[in-house]
Amino acid sequence: MFVPRPDHGDSAEAVVGGYAFSATLAIQDITGLATSGVSAPHIAKRLEPSAESEAMLFGLTSAQHLRPVTDVGYPELFADDLDDLDAWLFVSLPLLEDRGVIEANFTFDSKLAPLPGEPIPAAPWASALTLLDDLSVRLNRPTRQLWVTHTVNADEPPKVRDFGYVPAFREDQATFDASAVATLPGTSPCELDVVEGPGFSSRRTAAPEEVQQFSRLLTAASRDYPRGDLVMDTIEWDLARIRDAGARLNDRGGAQLTGLVYVDGEIVGLCEVVRYASGNPKVCELGLVYVLPGHRGRGIGSNMLRASLEQATHVWEDVETVYCSYPADAPAAKAVMRALDAEVVSATTAWQKY
């Protein structure tokens, strides 16, 4: 288990950098895109404590070394161990909702990662699943969710069903040219606005009751957004939580634009567009895109998406490519992706056990 201590210096940077390199290599092998990946500073920020979640990074190895034991009960991971690693397990513990859930992502170390088409080594998977089961018991989090990113038609990971996991949800990841939004409807019967920041962290002055409307909209999105069979609590949003989320995004080097759509003066939809300072300046990401059920089927979502991305390319002039994720079984999202000539580059399946 990696423990990010300030006095570790270069050793801590080497561990975080080793994981970031392996994670980037894995996703680039899947997508075939050089712009895919994750940076070491982004991983380091995720490992810092926050009110929202706690993250832990584990290295899986068959080598045995004398090491200090962490509070969780596992030997501590140092830079000297990197040559012996087979795989990594990044674990996240939600702290506000879903307190019975433990989430994890598995990644082969770059030295062991199979090339596309090669057999997948089963032993590291068995070790990771054993570790996840053990953590679930130690931390009293009985619901285990393992997120696996893969090619669209990939075989199932080895051992997951043997350990009692079943697929609970899948989302697809796609990319499209930012200029493609010009193909979406350019006029809307509704009022549209694109503001800087996550919701109401910008300098813009909100209209009366607008913050409450926005909070209700985010809560509705948490409740209604398709999640398959995943066990997930509804997030109850308020202004303090919106500001905290914005502060965390800014702390991780993220900048956000938020598209808002109004019907009769009330917010009924939102669209988030994010770019990270540590990422490729030519890339931005779509976050949450949501319209209240009673206002769907009128082109509102497409109008809002176009307005948000046009503003993004105006504010971030280097942006050329948009990354997005959406539920694999969502017909409306698929229709928009077809209109944008988006290319599905990967998929992520959430395997669950409880």
Q: Which of 113, 139, 164 is the last residue of a domain?
A: 164
Which pLDDT value is given to residue 133?
Answer: 97
In a domain? residue 350: no
Which pLDDT value is given to residue 328?
Answer: 93
Q: Give me the number of domains the chain comprises.
A: 2
Which pLDDT value is given to residue 42?
Answer: 87
Claim to verify: residue 214 and residue 267 sit in the same structural domain: yes
In a domain? residue 1: no
Claim to verify: residue 295 and residue 261 sit in the same structural domain: yes
- Report CA-CA distances (Å) from 143 to 1, 83, 146, 149: 21, 33, 10, 20
Claim to verify: residue 155 and residue 186 sit in the same structural domain: no
Which pLDDT value is given to residue 186?
Answer: 76
pLDDT tens digit sequence for 31-69: 999 989 898 988 998 999 888 899 999 999 988 888 999
Claim to verify: residue 101 and residue 121 sit in the same structural domain: yes
Which pLDDT value is given to residue 205?
Answer: 66
Claim to verify: residue 141 and residue 282 sit in the same structural domain: no
Claim to verify: residue 160 and residue 182 sit in the same structural domain: no
Claim to verify: residue 160 and residue 67 sit in the same structural domain: yes
Beta strands in the chain (DSSP E): 53-61, 85-94, 101-108, 143-150, 166-177, 191-196, 254-263, 266-276, 283-291, 321-327, 343-353
Query: What amino acid occupies position 19?
Result: Y
Claim to verify: residue 74 and residue 104 sit in the same structural domain: yes
Which pLDDT value is given to residue 4?
Answer: 86
In a domain? residue 284: yes
In a domain? residue 349: no
Claim to verify: residue 202 and residue 337 sit in the same structural domain: yes
Claim to verify: residue 34 and residue 116 sit in the same structural domain: yes
**Overall pTM > 0.75:** yes
In a domain? residue 40: yes
pLDDT < 50 positions in the chain: none
Claim to verify: residue 198 and residue 326 sit in the same structural domain: yes
Which residues constitute the domain of residue 294?
A: 176-343
